[in-house]
Homo-oligomer: A and B are copies of this chain.
Amino acid sequence: MAVKSGRSIGVGLIGFGTIGTGVVKVLAQNAAVIEQRLGFPLKMVAIADLDTETDRKVDLEGVRFDSDAEGLIAAPDVDIVIELVGGYEVAKRFILAAIAAGKPVVTANKALLALHGKEIFAAAEAAGVDVAFEAAVGGGIPILRSLREGLSANHIDSVLGILNGTTNYVLTEMERTEEDFEVVLKRAQELGYAEADPTFDVDGIDAAHKLALLTAMAFGAELTYEQIPTEGIRQLMPIDFELARDFGYKIKLLGIAKCRREDDGVECIEARVHPTMVAAGSMLANVDAAMNAIEVRGDAVGPTLYYGAGAGEMPTASAVVADLIEIARELQRGGSGPVAPLSYLPHHLVPKPLVGLEELSGRFYLRFTAADEPGVLGRIAGALGDEGVGIQSVVQQGGADSPGSVPIIVLTHEASEAGLAAALARVDDEREVTAPTVVVRIEEGE
């Protein structure tokens, strides 16, 4: 699609919720500075949303606003389509319709891209239009651009980080207040940090969506969301934060992806989402409240880290509008962007199955819950020992809160996940063990 040089680029927005409102605000309040960088104006010309009644408290003069998304996509003055509907089916239909109309798309929809990215990116490539999604990971943090362009000279060795602001807020508050998960979650919901249905966030699903995109971009692998072992934070208790502190750690929900290049050149990828203990003095440990941070290690650059607001109206709008600016620049040149959306050129994105969790090893924090009876610790220690899981420290606290049951905390030496799983299967079967054992993996800085 050729756009005449000099005229403004028209933007159409589908989905006029919080982030869409932020996009309208950013385009309005920063119109001058955007034009000073871009050379011509970016204009919001049309918005579509089923809810045309709610007052978003933004100036919509000169903007068509109705519920007709198809009409918006077809409109000749809409050069770029923003999809902020969320969800799967409808969003996908709009994106594919825009691509079919030869119009580039900006989206923040990580869930859709993690599951249906292959189809969407293939359609975009075939049509020669851009699909940009900086806002899908890390909110306003320019992490995808950094991975795709800033670190393009590197073999990426690992990408790991705090990818979900809601869970980081809850973990930070649990650590600060020593309150239970449910209490803190309720407050987070009241304050707007967590949704009414918090499942996607607290069960790690949102982080896994984002990690799937990062893994593909970092390692040139096809999207593998379904393969990512994912664990959330519901099982954590105040005692875990207290002991983490004693051991010199903080607990963060991390998405972790690593790539080991073997001598024979085979790449071996691992990816997982779970609560993780990180050294108290590390950069990640200092990422509090709803902030996000992603650490990327490359073979040339070494460790790098990117920090900022991972969600919210204006930070996410910042990323959406950055994508608009880049695409608008390309449209003025009469082409689509030259950088592959997933960093590797599409035909180099190959299926690279993940290494199973059971093939990995690491150090573990384990919280057993067992009847306060003689011999329990011995049986736990025995099961761990039988499976090759060495114990570094044990803390057994007198159990005042749960009569009859006490927490027994074990910090292990480096051990295999397979050995741990076998030991826990045995332990959790014991009569005296009254609740499933809680595992927090330890990620050592290098």
Interface residues of A (CB under 8 A from B): 22, 25-26, 29-30, 33-34, 36-39, 134, 140-142, 145-146, 148-155, 220, 281-283, 286-287, 293, 298-309, 312, 314-315, 317-322, 324-326, 329-330, 332-333, 335, 338-340, 343-345, 348
Once bound together, how far apart are the Cα atoms of A322 and B147, in whole Å? 11
CA distance A300 to B145 in the complex (A): 18
Chain B contacts for A326, CB-based, 8 A: 149, 152
With a 10 A CB-CB cut-off, give which of A25, A150, A151, A340 has the most chain B CB atoms.
A150
User: Are the CB atoms of A305 and B306 closer together than 8 Å?
Assistant: yes
Q: Mind listing 17 A-B residue pairs with CB under 8 Å?
A: A22-B300, A30-B299, A141-B150, A142-B145, A142-B149, A142-B150, A146-B150, A149-B322, A150-B322, A151-B318, A151-B322, A153-B319, A153-B325, A281-B286, A304-B307, A305-B305, A306-B307
A301 to B313, CA, bound (A): 9
B303 & A308 in contact (Cβ 8 Å cutoff): yes
User: For residue A302, which residues in chain B have a CB less than 8 angstroms away from its CB?
Assistant: 140, 308-309, 312, 314-315
Closest to A146 in B: B142
Q: What are the 10 A-B residue pairs with the smallest beta carbon separation, nearest first? A: A142-B150, A153-B321, A304-B308, A140-B301, A300-B318, A301-B318, A305-B307, A36-B348, A300-B314, A142-B146
- A338, B344: Cβ atoms closer than 8 Å: no
Contacts of A325 in B (CB 8 A): 149, 152-153
A96 and B60 CA atoms in complex are apart in Å by 48
Chain B residues near A320 (CB-CB < 8 A): 153
Task: Please tell me if the beta carbons of B345 and A30 are within 8 angstroms of each other in the complex.
Answer: no
Report chain B residues within 8 Å CB of A298: 140, 318
Name the residue in A134, A287, A300 with the highest tally of chain B Cβ atoms < 10 Å from its Cβ: A300
The reply to whether A344 and B36 form a contact with Cβ atoms under 8 Å apart is yes
Are the C-beta atoms of B321 and A300 separated by less than 8 Å? yes
List, in ascending order, chain B residues with CB within 8 A of A314's CB: 299-302
Q: From A27, which residue of chain B is reached at the shortest CB distance?
A: B153
| Residue picked from A36, A155, A308, most chain B C-beta under 10 Å | A308
